[in-house]
């Protein structure tokens, strides 16, 4: 469906563009558009068209990020970077990622039509890979800009054995030049991403948009519970060292502790039973524990209490419990001047300025090494994402684009970023 530019609201035009982008997908339910895929390559032409309409000059960088720059950005003036990722999960939705690419482009196009000249450089990026679905690596595009890209990632292979190096070459770029993409922090004003909330908070509070204060920190543990295998028919129940029963008690205890707190979330998402046979007492269970909170103190406090509870559970059944930290990434704070200026823009558009944190990772986790980051969340139906039924309304899209246009046109005093006109 195409909507008329004369009569449709900005929100309706935005949704129509997102519908169009969603057709660049592998066949099947929802949207499947992986990094450096044929769908990615074809989508670049559509994005190039939108970028041109927004007055931006377009290049495809060595990491497969499509970059649109306004004349001031090309001239080397301090530049604000807007954008998000073009890729989706397998059978994902139309909005996760693409909203944050399409929205700033339509906002800039509209400002241009209204002859509003922004007194700073603007650039819109469509990162190739944020979801990390195809290759072992993720955030390739944003890490490249931040100068934290590790060239060893180029050797990572997808399920078909194609390396990231080969895939990027197939997209038509030269991956050996990724390390040249690092930006000069002195010329970047900040990075702002618009994204669907992927959670229920805005919906519960009946709000169209919210301003993000921080991106969550994440830690993951491997927990191995070792007992003793035995014949399931001939070993008496008393005195068994059943690793699965011990692990089950641990999972319930973890869930109990996490439910008793309201400041963080966590999950046991993976469980492996050995020998995993119908008639053998489980000898060993390995499971994952993931904890997320924007506050490191909170996360570490939960870790301490949870892990301390596992040992006694193991001991009571004569099991051995080994715990190792597999991954830890610190949370990232959004810049106060971006939070405050986005809030001001919300209020100016007649919207309450709700603050919330992001429980999901985003390109900001990499971009924060380069510059200040900010995010605006848009309400999504049922808090649902990574699913074909992902949905936002035209009214909410309209609010979000007006907030971003207002925010952009008020950000005219970067020497005193929080000192924009007060209302």
Q: Which residues are at the interface with Co ion (CB under 5 A)?
A: 96-97
Closest separation in Å from C-beta 101 to Co ion: 11
Take residue 71 and report the two structure tokens written for it: 């004349």
* Closer residue to Co ion (CB): 97 or 128: 97
51, burial (CB in 10 Å: exposed 0-12, middle 13-18, buried 19+): buried
Least Cα distance to 141 among 107, 169, 91, 175 occurs for 175
Closest separation in Å from C-beta 99 to Co ion: 9
* Closer residue to Co ion (CB): 98 or 405: 98
* Closer residue to Co ion (CB): 215 or 302: 215
Distance CA 423, CA 419 (A): 11
Closest separation in Å from C-beta 35 to Co ion: 13
* Closer residue to Co ion (CB): 96 or 123: 96
* Closer residue to Co ion (CB): 24 or 337: 24
Strand 373-378 with 188-196, pairing:
parallel
* Closer residue to Co ion (CB): 230 or 388: 388
Closest separation in Å from C-beta 291 to Co ion: 21
Least Cα distance to 344 among 252, 265, 396, 410 occurs for 410
Contacts of 368 (CB under 8 A, 6+ apart): 146, 332
Closest separation in Å from C-beta 139 to Co ion: 11
Closest separation in Å from C-beta 97 to Co ion: 4
Closest separation in Å from C-beta 248 to Co ion: 34
Closest separation in Å from C-beta 96 to Co ion: 4
* Closer residue to Co ion (CB): 25 or 406: 25
What would you report as the CA-atom Rg of the chain, rounded to the nearest whole angstrom?
Answer: 24
* Closer residue to Co ion (CB): 47 or 73: 47
Asked if residues 302 and 378 have their Cβ atoms less than 8 Å apart, the reply is: no
């Amino acid at each position: 469906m195409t909507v008329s530019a004369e009569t449709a609201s900005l929100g309706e035009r935005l949704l129509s563009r997102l519908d169009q982008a969603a057709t660049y997908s592998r066949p099947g339910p929802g949207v499947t558009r992986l990094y450096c895929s044929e769908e990615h390559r074809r989508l670049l032409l559509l994005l190039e068209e939108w970028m041109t309409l927004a007055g931006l000059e377009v290049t495809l960088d060595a990491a497969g990020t499509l970059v649109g720059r306004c004349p001031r950005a090309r001239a080397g003036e301090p530049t604000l970077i807007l954008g998000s990722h073009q890729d989706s999960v397998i059978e994902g939705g139309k909005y996760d990622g693409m909203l944050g690419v399409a929205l700033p482009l339509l906002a800039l196009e509209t400002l241009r039509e209204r002859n509003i000249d922004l007194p700073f450089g603007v650039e819109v990026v469509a990162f190739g890979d944020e979801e990390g679905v195809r290759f072992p690596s993720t955030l390739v595009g944003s890490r490249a800009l931040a100068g934290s890209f590790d060239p060893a990632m180029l050797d990572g292979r997808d399920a078909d054995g194609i390396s990231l190096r080969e895939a990027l070459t197939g997209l038509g770029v030269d991956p050996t030049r990724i390390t040249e993409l690092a930006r000069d922090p002195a010329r970047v004003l900040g990075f702002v991403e618009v994204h669907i909330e992927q959670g229920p908070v805005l919906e519960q509070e009946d709000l169209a948009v919210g301003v993000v204060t921080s991106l969550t920190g994440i830690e993951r543990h491997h927990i191995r519970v070792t007992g003793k295998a035995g014949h399931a028919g001939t070993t008496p129940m008393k005195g068994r060292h059943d690793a699965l029963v011990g692990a089950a008690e641990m999972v319930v205890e973890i869930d109990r502790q996490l439910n008793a707190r309201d400041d963080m979330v966590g999950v046991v998402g993976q469980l492996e039973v050995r020998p995993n046979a119908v008639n053998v007492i489980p000898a060993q269970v390995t499971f994952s524990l993931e904890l997320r909170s924007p506050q490191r103190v909170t996360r570490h406090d939960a870790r301490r209490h949870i892990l301390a509870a596992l040992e006694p559970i193991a001991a009571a059944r004569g099991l051995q419990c080994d715990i190792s930290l597999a991954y830890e990434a610190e949370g990232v704070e959004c810049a106060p001047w971006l939070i405050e200026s986005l809030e001001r823009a919300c209020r100016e558009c007649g919207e309450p300025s709700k603050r919330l944190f992001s429980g999901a990772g985003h390109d900001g986790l990499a971009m924060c090494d380069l510059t200040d980051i900010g995010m605006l969340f848009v309400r999504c139906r049922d808090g649902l994402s990574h699913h074909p039924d992902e949905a936002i309304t035209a009214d909410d899209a309209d609010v979000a684009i007006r907030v971003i246009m207002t925010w952009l046109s008020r950000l005219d005093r970067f020497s005193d970023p929080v000192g924009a006109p007060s209302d």
